[in-house]
Every structure is written in structure tokens, then in C-alpha cells.
Structure 1
Amino acid sequence: MGMAVDGLISGLDTTSLINSLMQAEAIPQTLLKNKVSDSTTYISAMQALNTKIAALADLATTTSKPAGVDLHTATSSSTSVVATATTGATDGTLDFTVDKLAQAQVTVSAPLTQWPDQPPVLTFVAADGTTTQVTAASSSLADVAAAINKAGVGVSATRVSAGLDPSTGQQQYRLQLSSTTTGAAGSFTAYRGTPAQVTAGTATDLLSEPGAAQVRAAQDAQVTLWAGTGAAQTVTSSTNTFADLLPGVSLTVSAASSAPVTLTVARSDSAISDVANSLVSGLNDIFTYINQKNAVTTSTDTAGGTVVSSGPFTGDSTVRDATQKLASAVSTPINGLSPSTYGISMTSDGQITFDKDKFAAALAADPEKAKAALQTVASRVADAANVVSDKYDGTITSKIAGEQSTVKGLNNQITDWDTRLADRRSTLEKTYANLEVQLQQLQSQSSWLTGQLAGLSTSSS
């Protein structure tokens, strides 16, 4: 904390004087702070650019692979069948009928006021013959249901109200048991008794008790290919989704029907065109951002003068090199043909245009050649983008790391200046405080001398 040294004797505003002197002393530190501010702005802009280029590298890498442009659509003739084409799909058609939907088993017990055994012991036998014993804490049906749910036997239990016992008037409940997965593999049998009793044949099957019932049997979904012909073939799935009827095509059925369904798989020119357009859009986003950060702006200062400010990328060789690499990747001829043959062109202002109609025409004329051209451009762009944005040794990545190191050094210097300036202020405050003391002493001496001289004059008279 500074000393209060405003001139009591000198009348000087020493606080303002010291502050003015300190402003001059702090000029080197202010310059360092301005440099840190400029560098921080530059680093932020470069990091944003690096993120954009890295995203482009990922997109271009995906596009350069066969699966990136081997795109198809799958459609069905029925609204109850949803088809989706994925990697590896090929053109073709397939006829089938949907015979059954997959479903989980649901079984309900007879109406009960409480479990008839104490302690309640149940054994579940899965479709593969696996047996699991469940023991409940009490004969309460709520406790029995909780024990089943906790046991992890692939069966969920719910206590459902079943009215009043006609003899006693007590509230009755049914225990609803449902397999947790669909398909025949989720079927189960529930017994009252231990696994040993089940093996011995002395356990009671819950379904054998009066009032118990199987509401729904576990079953797989089933379709029949080429139904009604000598080649008819059934295919099952534990869910309502079939992933292997055709390579790269997934089917999800929602209703059974004897009416035939036709599945059609065809190359998706629109999807391939969208991929090309996404690549061009990614490049344009980068070029537009670079142009914005390269722009020189003018403003007016408080005195009315014109101030010219350069952008963070103005004159930056690293950014210029990145721009040239990406531009070259997208504009270099492909097997002697300009990319514009496939609708990809570079304008005079450095932007890339994509002509969907031209690309569609090239794709229709020679699909494999057009897709190969797109893959070539994508591969070049991916290589250029990776050189620039690689997280270990990309040119922009390295530039950012170097600038961050510089900022760290500048901040250390600024911290050193804080100490130096604090010492300098302390010195100035002490100097001016001592000045006030000296002036006070001189003033006291002056007053004494004046008094002495006045005394001598009186004596002489």
C-alpha cells in the first residue's frame, strides 16, 4: 500500500506526480501486455482454424475410403417394414413375407393372497436348460416380486391386483412374469420348489395351478423369402430387426402379413452428392474464416484520426501455406481432368463451388469413375489437412505451441516488472517523503534565522 505523501510543506500533489512518473516507468511492461493480448488473440484464432481443418481432415478421410462413397438407399413396398442401407450394401431386390413378430413370454400366476410356501422358493428354467433358484424374504407377493427382479434371471415380476377372495374377502394378486428379452431364447418355466425338486419332478409348475395362464409365448420374428416357391426359406430373429437378409441392409418389421413385401436396394446418387457437397462446404468454411482473419480494418481514435488494424492472420506464412495446400488439393487435375469435370471448381476469389447437376451427370455417365474422382480429391484434402492440423506435428499445431510458449515467457517478464515497479514506486514515495522532511527542516531554520535577525536589529537601535 502506498504512503500518503501529498506535499504538506511543498504544496506539491506528489501522488499525481508519482503516478505520472510510474506511467512512464511502466511503458515497457505495457508494451509486453499489449504483446500478450495480441498473441492471445492470434492463438485463439489459430486454434479455431486448427479445429476446422481437423474436422475437415476427418470428413475427407472418411470420404476417401470406398465405404465413404459406396452409398445406397433401401426401400420396402410395405409401411410395416423399414429398411436401412449401410456399408456394404449392393443393388438388388428381394421378396419375402412377414410371418411372425418377435415377442417376450408373459405368464401370470393364479390369484393369491400370499405365496403358498414359507419361505417362498422358486426355480426358473431358461430355454437353454439353465436353472436359477430365487428365495424371497417373506410370503408377501411384493417381496416375491422384488426377489425375482433382484435375482437377474432374465425375468421381471409385477404384482397385479386380482380382486377379492370370494371366501375370505381378502385382497388377491397375480404375479405377472415377463421375459426381459424378446425371442424364443427368452422363454422360461417357473416352478415352486428348488432346482433339486425340479430335477426330481416334485416341484410345481406355476402354469399347472388353477387360474394360472401363459398370456403370451416367447417367439422369434420370422420372415419367409420367396414364399410360395420351391426356394421358400424362413429366416428368424430374436428381435423384430433382421440384419442379415442382404449384405449391408437392416430390416425392422412391425406387423405380420401374408402379403409379399419387396425390398429394393439401389445406389443413392443424392447421398453421394451430399458427401461431395459437405467436403466443398468444409473447405469454404475454412477459406472464409481465413479471409475474415486476414482482413485489414480501419477505425477512428478519440482524436478523430484513422487507425488501421491488421487481422491476426495478416501476413502469416503458416496460414498462407495451409491455404495453398488445401487449394492445391482440391484443384489439381485428376488423371488429366480438371475437378470441374465433376462439378468441383475454384473461383477467382478463392472459394470452391459445387455444381450438383454436373456431378449428377458425371455419376450417371460413369458411376465408378465419378466416385473414384471424389475419393481422389478427398484423399488429397485429407493429406493436406492432416499435415496442417495433426495434433502432434501439424504446422498450425506447432505454431500454436510456439506462440503459447512465447506468451508464457512474456507473462513471466510482466510478473518481474510488477515487482520492479512496486520497488520503484516505494522508492519514489520515500524520496518525496524525505523531500517534505527536508523542506520542513529548512522552513524551521528559515523561521529561526528570521527571528535572530529581527533580534539583532532591535539591539542595535
Structure 2
Amino acid sequence: MSTTSALTTTSTSASGTLGIDGLASGLDTTSIINSLMSIEQLPQSLLQDKVTSTSAFISSLQTINGLFATMATKATAAATSTSLNLLTASSSSSAVTASVSSTAAAGSVSFTVGSTAATQVGVTAAMTTWSSSAPTLTLVSASGAKTEISPASGSLDDVVSAINKAGAGVTATKVAAGTTADGTKQYRLQLTATASGSAGAFSLYRGSGSDVDTGTATNVLTESGAAVVQQASDASVTLWAGTAAAQTITSSTNTFTDLVPGLTVNVSAVSASPVTINVAQDTTKATAVASGLVDALNAITSYYSSNTSVSTTTSATDGSQSTTAGVLLGDATTRDAVQQITSAMSTPVNGQSPSSIGIEITKDGDFTFDSDAFQAALATDPAGTQKILSGLAQNVANVANGASDKYSGSITTAITGQQSVVTDLNQQISDWDTRLADRRATLQEEYTNLETNLSTLKSQSTWLTSQISSLPSYSSSSK
């Protein structure tokens, strides 16, 4: 007896998975395998859902941790004993401006401006060329230092280039200066000190340094047709002008640093009458220190509230309702941190309530800040207001740092733990990928064998039917 093997065909499912669809059984093998695999994949799908929810939880933890870190920074700064010692300077003249540093103290100072700083500028006589051969020049600074300069040639361009490359504190520029009688163009060299004040003064000589010493060198700026356009000069201010204690202070620039400790003054014009600089507490900046703490805490409580609330939505299709809980709802770590920092902000300091400086908690757990009350307290008792704010800020800083410290913070630690959970879940999902691939291969092999066996049975059935049909038939009448 002989048999023939039936052919099987392969097809690709919509999901991209290779399936075996047989002619023998007439079954949609690919769909069957995909259906079975969807059941097999349920544990992996649950793991993937867990990764998604845990990742959202981590993201929320990171956000609130960042808010606690911001609070820690602001509170730590506000906790210093001089956090409200923020000063501002005002001037009685628009020609004088002032700024203060952290070392300044409240007070005032008056002075007259005798002069402003100037940079020396000189121009040479008009000429068509510097010399017929390569010259030697010498720049002499205000301190007497000499710099010899050797241009490549006597052309004005080479002289300009050599002066600028010398780095001797002077720059040169060629400027048009009309023409000679025969129409030849003339130029002057404009020489400018790079530093202002008398220390930037200079002289330029034709000749070497030794020629300058012997008096045989020619000062370019005293030649016929040359001029010092602007003399180098220092800025000067006089304290207590007109009294026996008058004292003049000079500066090579128009800026006087530490005229009094922590005070920097800039002058732009001479003043005939005294200019007064007042240094006083900047109540606006001081108020911002206190209000900044309140704003930072409200940012924490607002975020926590929105991420622990429960919302209900109604389907527009069938009217069914679904409830969604905030991602932080039930999390003990963030709940404890929020409760602790709220308590720290509302706890009295040395028997003084925060409300005495304008910081109050509402019935909803948020805080309000009364700037008028704060400024009134600051004006009445600046030292006491500073102590209350510093103590309050320190208590808040301790809690905020305890929650957000990058190594040991409670929320930071929770984030690290949840990240480890996600790592483990992803490894389990990866293991399931291998397991499911093996299971699909097994199912494909089983259904391939089924098709092969059915095909063989059909072939045998067909052969037996043909053999039976070929047997001779006998009738009863032939006996």
C-alpha cells in the first residue's frame, strides 16, 4: 500500500507571527494559536501594567521630592541670622549710583565729586609716512617703564601694527587728515591708553630707550601739529568737604570700591554740592524671604493634595461612573513628610507664633502670608522678627532636608526602592518574552504535526476507497 503526503501552507497573522494553516483540517491555525497566546500572555501583561503604574508613582515621588528640595534650599538660606539683613543704597544725585554687598551696614555718607576718570588720547602731526626707513620708537608709561618698538618699515601702517602688537598699554589708529598741496593724502596716528586714570598716561618718542634717557629722543606728542587731546586723570571724591577733616580719595576708574565697607559707588559727573548715599534695609527683599517660604510650602501641599484626591467621571455613552485615585493616595512616606513640614511651619518659636510675623495656617492646611504684618513686625522689632523667622526656617529646613536629602532622604529612599521594583519587573517581563516564544513554537509544532497526521489519514482513506471501488462486484443471479 502506498500513500501520498498532503501539502501544508504557512501564513503570517495580522500580528506578524508566523502561523500554520492546514488544508487537511480546514482550521485557521494562526488565529487559534494567537488566541491561546493571548491567554498565555496575561501574566506578562499584568507585569507590564505594574511597571506603568509604578513608573507613574516614581515620577510623582520625584516631583514632590524636588519641591521639598526647593523648600530645603530656601529654608536653609532663611535660617541664617542675617537672612533679613538685606540692604539697598540710594543716591541723592543721578550722576552717582551705588550698590551694596553683604558686608555693608545701614547708614549714610556724603561727598563731593571733584573729577571723573579720563583716558589719555593723543594725536600726532599730519603726515604721509612715518619715516624713510624702519624707525625705532619708545613708549614710556606713567611709571617710567620703557618699551622699544621696531616697525617693519617706516610706513604708517607698519608703525600702527607694531604699536598695537607691543602690548605696552597703548593702541594706535590711522586717521585721515586731509591732503598736501600736491594732493597726497595725509594721516594722523591717534594713540589711546588702554587703561583710564593717571596710571595710564604715556609718552611716545622717536628713538631708543637710551635716546630717551640722554634727552635726544623726540616726543611725538609735542611735535608741531600734534596734541594731547585728552589728559589722563583719576576720578576723585572728597569726604567732609569744607571741614578740617576733608579727605580726598582717588580712583583710576569712575568706580570707588568699599568707599565704606560693603559700599561701591560709581560717578559720572563732577558735583558742586555734596552727594548723599543712604544705605537702609531693603524691606521688599526681606519680605520676599519670608513669603518665599510660604510659597514653597504651599507648592508642596498643593501638589500633594492634587495627587491624593479621588475623582469620579461619568461615561457619556452609558452613564457609568469610574473612580480614579491620586497616585500618592495611601503612600505613607509622602504623607508623613507633608504632615511634618506643615507642623514645622506652624509651630511657635521661643513662644512666639508664626502669625506674629504674618505667617498663618488656614483651615484647609495651606498657609497665607500677610506682608503688611511682616513689615510692621520688622519695623517694630527687627531683631525679634529675625529670630522668629530664623527659628521657623530652621525647623522647616530640618524636615525638608530629611525628606529630600540625595543620600538619606525618606522620599529619596522611597524613589530608589521603587526604581528597584521596576528593574525587577522588567527582568520578569524579559523572562516572559523567552517563555512565550518557546510556548508559541511548541503550539506551532503541535498544530503542524496535527495537519501532517490528518493529511496522512486523508490520503490513506482516499487510497482505501479507491481499492474498494476496484473490487469486482457479484450478483446473486450469477450463482
TM-score (norm 1): 0.91
Answer yes or no: is the 8 Å Cα contact 2:283–2:375 preserved in 1: yes
Deviation at 1:266, TM superposition (A): 2.0
The correspondence of residues 95-174 of structure 1 with structure 2, limited to 5 A, is 95-116=110-131, 118-119=133-134, 121-164=136-179, 166-174=180-188
Deviation at 1:193, TM superposition (A): 4.2
Residues in 2 aligned to 1:54 and 1:418: alpha-carbon distance in whole angstroms = 40
Q: 1:454 to 1:70 in 2, by over 3 A?
A: same
The correspondence of residues 202-281 of structure 1 with structure 2, limited to 5 A, is 202-281=216-295
Q: 1:168 to 1:352 in 2, by over 3 A?
A: same
Query: Which of 195, 198, 208 is 1:184 aligned to?
Result: 198
Could you say which residue in structure 2 is the equivalent of 1:358?
A: 373
Could you say which residue in structure 1 is the equivalent of 2:11?
A: none
Deviation at 1:368, TM superposition (A): 1.0
Could you say which residue in structure 1 is the equivalent of 2:431?
A: 416
Could you say which residue in structure 1 is the equivalent of 2:361?
A: 346
C-alpha distance after superposition, 1:323-368 (max 9, x if no partner): 1231122111111121111111111211111111211221222111
- Can you give the 5+ residue segments of structure 1 that lack an aligned partner in the other structure? none
Q: 1:364 to 1:4 in 2, by over 3 A?
A: same
Work out whether 1:57 is the aligned partner of 2:57.
no
C-alpha distance after superposition, 1:110-168 (max 9, x if no partner): 3343442744554433333444444445555444434444444333333322232x045
Letter of the 2:72 counterpart: A
Could you say which residue in structure 1 is the equivalent of 2:40?
A: 25
Answer yes or no: is the 8 Å Cα contact 1:69–1:375 preserved in 2: no
The correspondence of residues 429-444 of structure 1 with structure 2, limited to 5 A, is 429-444=444-459
Give me the identity figure in percent: 51
Residues in 1 aligned to 2:305 and 2:267: alpha-carbon distance in whole angstroms = 51
Deviation at 1:78, TM superposition (A): 0.9
Instruction: Report which stretch shifted further, 322-331 or 292-301.
Output: 292-301
Residues in 1 aligned to 2:126 and 2:305: alpha-carbon distance in whole angstroms = 77
The correspondence of residues 304-315 of structure 1 with structure 2, limited to 5 A, is 305-315=320-330
Answer yes or no: is the 8 Å Cα contact 1:138–1:144 preserved in 2: yes
CA RMSD in angstroms, aligned pairs only: 2.5
C-alpha distance after superposition, 1:48-80 (max 9, x if no partner): 222222222222222222332112222111111
Q: How many residues are aligned here?
A: 459
Residues in 1 aligned to 2:74 and 2:24: alpha-carbon distance in whole angstroms = 76
C-alpha distance after superposition, 1:377-425 (max 9, x if no partner): 1222222222222222222222222222222222222222222222322
- Can you give the 5+ residue segments of structure 2 that lack an aligned partner in the other structure? 1-15
Larger Rg: 2
Query: Which of 11, 18, 21 is 1:3 aligned to?
Result: 18
Answer yes or no: is the 8 Å Cα contact 2:352–2:388 preserved in 1: no
Residues in 2 aligned to 1:422 and 1:134: alpha-carbon distance in whole angstroms = 84
Work out whether 1:75 is the aligned partner of 2:67.
no
C-alpha distance after superposition, 1:150-199 (max 9, x if no partner): 444333333322232x0453333333232233233333333344445544
Deviation at 1:96, TM superposition (A): 1.1
Instruction: Report which stretch shifted further, 230-239 or 196-205.
Output: 196-205
Answer yes or no: is the 8 Å Cα contact 1:22–1:425 preserved in 2: yes
Query: Which of 344, 354, 358 is 1:329 aligned to?
Result: 344
1:214 counterpart SS class: strand
Letter of the 2:184 counterpart: Q
Could you say which residue in structure 2 is the equivalent of 1:291?
A: 305
Letter of the 1:253 counterpart: V
Residues in 1 aligned to 2:352 and 2:37: alpha-carbon distance in whole angstroms = 68
Instruction: Report which stretch shifted further, 335-344 or 405-414.
Output: 405-414
Residues in 1 aligned to 2:134 and 2:21: alpha-carbon distance in whole angstroms = 94
Residues in 2 aligned to 1:372 and 1:278: alpha-carbon distance in whole angstroms = 17
The correspondence of residues 442-461 of structure 1 with structure 2, limited to 5 A, is 442-456=457-471, 458-460=472-474
Query: Which of 79, 84, 87 is 2:99 aligned to?
Result: 84
Q: 1:25 to 1:261 in 2, by over 3 A?
A: same
1:257 counterpart SS class: coil
Letter of the 1:250 counterpart: T
Residues in 2 aligned to 1:297 and 1:422: alpha-carbon distance in whole angstroms = 40
